[in-house]
Amino acid sequence: MTAGVRFALWGEDEDHEEEQLWASCEEAEGLFAEPPEPVRRRYELRGFTAEAALPAALGFLVLQPLHEHGRPAREWYLEDARVLATRARDGSRQDVTVEAVRPDDQPPHPAGAPSAAGFSLSDHQDRVLGHFRDLAEVLPVEEPPPHSVRLLGCAVRGPLREVLEGREERPLGYRHLDALDAAGALLAPAGYPHIVDWQPSPRGPGLYDLTVHMEPQPPVVADIWTLWREGRPAVPNLWARFDDSGRALWLDPALAHRRGPDRPAGGTYHLDGRHVTDADGFFCALGEAVNGPGGYFGRCLNGVSDALCGGFGATWPFTLVWHHHEVARRCLGVQPLVRSPATFPELLDFLREKGIDVGPAGGVPPRGGPWAGGGPPNPKNKNAPLVGR
């Protein structure tokens, strides 16, 4: 159950043009559950010509259909891909069988690929691995059953009320569910429900209990929402108690609670690096350095780039004083992953390229280490100080 957390169900208006509130719900039963194991699917890349050696563990893949004359079309992704087999075809071409996870937000198949042009295959670093003629799913697997959630005590309105009370028959279009804090403001997005059943609620006249199919929220989200229920927290580093997956989920309410306006450029912000043991910890700490407890300043490097353009509390240039940098230097980018996160020196390079002077605490540059005094200078300040303790 979700005691103490209310929900808002949003959908399209009658003209399918604007978002409107469809229901206010008192509780969500069955929302928290361990997510099912991702479905691993097998695909055959037919007529593959390699541009680089294919490792057995491919990790994240980008399949890009090519239009005539080789122009790229919309990208299509696979995750955690591994090569299962290769079979010679003709000349230098092969048929390559891979097993991978298709992300939930991807369509079943790439769209718009003329067979004559085929596809390109790239890795997470945009390195082209090769090209192939056609793609086929081998022995399609059975989809897992949908996860059911009950939205209890819903006060419905708009098109949803018209459908539930039998005055109109129409498909219920785009909809999403938000968790609300104690003041009724957005706490965090909760998912994208598909309404499959409803009945009058025993919680009061005119209320309904809705049964929906949607992806569950991991159980750790319940603990995170508890810390945000009264609004944005006033204590820093509450995110540090969670592991990397929980820290990534902490950034959902942090994004929902971002607030402005931007402070003038040229300021100095202090990053508490004691708990920056993974990439998500860095983004949590950066958000709090710039915007205080519960602050947000991007959840990936592209997000930080966007935040620096304005609307997230600060714009470049500014100075970032990174305290206890040795924790990040020891931990970041060393996990044995196929798709490794940025290392500490790579983060420094990124920040400097974006016009952020990464300055030392206490004014004393660190000694030793391959990055001390190294790395490209900040193009906007060639005398930018190094990171400190």
CATH number at residue 166: 2.30.110
Q: Which domain holds residue 248?
A: 232-363
Could you tell me the pTM of the whole model?
0.78
Q: What is the CATH number of the domain that holds 134?
A: 2.40.30
Domain identity same for 24 and 114: no
Domain identity same for 23 and 151: yes
Domain identity same for 45 and 124: yes
Residue type for position 124: H
User: Which pLDDT tens digits describe the chain residue by residue (389 residues)?
Assistant: 666 799 999 998 766 678 899 999 999 999 999 988 889 999 999 999 999 888 889 999 999 888 765 555 678 999 999 999 999 988 889 999 999 999 887 888 887 555 557 899 998 878 899 999 999 999 888 888 999 999 999 999 988 999 999 888 877 878 999 999 999 999 999 999 999 999 999 999 999 999 999 999 999 999 999 999 999 999 999 999 999 999 999 999 999 998 778 999 999 999 999 999 999 999 999 999 999 999 999 999 999 999 999 999 998 899 999 999 999 999 987 654 445 678 899 999 999 999 899 965 644 333 333 333 333 333 333 333 333 33
Q: Is residue 385 part of a domain?
A: no
**Number of folded domains in the chain?**
3
For the chain, the maximum distance between any two Cα atoms, rounded to a whole number of angstroms, is 75
Of 138, 172, 205, which residue constitutes the final position of a domain?
A: 138
Domain identity same for 206 and 237: no
* pLDDT at res. 335: 56
Domain identity same for 358 and 265: yes
Domain identity same for 261 and 312: yes
Q: Is residue 226 part of a domain?
A: no
Domain identity same for 95 and 196: no
Residues 6+ apart with CB under 8 A from 295: 254, 258, 287, 288, 289, 313
Rounded CA separation 354/332 (Å): 20
Q: Is residue 240 part of a domain?
A: yes
Of 108, 123, 138, which residue constitutes the final position of a domain?
A: 138
Residues 6+ apart with CB under 8 A from 255: 296, 299
Q: Is residue 100 part of a domain?
A: yes
Of 200, 221, 242, which residue constitutes the final position of a domain?
A: 221
Is-contact 353 376, C-beta < 8 A? Answer: yes
* pLDDT at res. 183: 94
Q: What is the CATH number of the domain that holds 350?
A: 3.30.370.10
Residue written as tokens 């043009």? 17
Domain identity same for 238 and 187: no
Domain identity same for 17 and 150: yes
Q: Is residue 1 part of a domain?
A: no
Domain identity same for 56 and 176: no
Residue type for position 34: E
Q: Is residue 153 part of a domain?
A: yes
Domain identity same for 63 and 156: no
Residue 258 CB: number of other CB atoms within 10 A? Answer: 17
Q: Is residue 302 part of a domain?
A: yes
Q: Is residue 256 part of a domain?
A: yes
Domain identity same for 149 and 31: yes
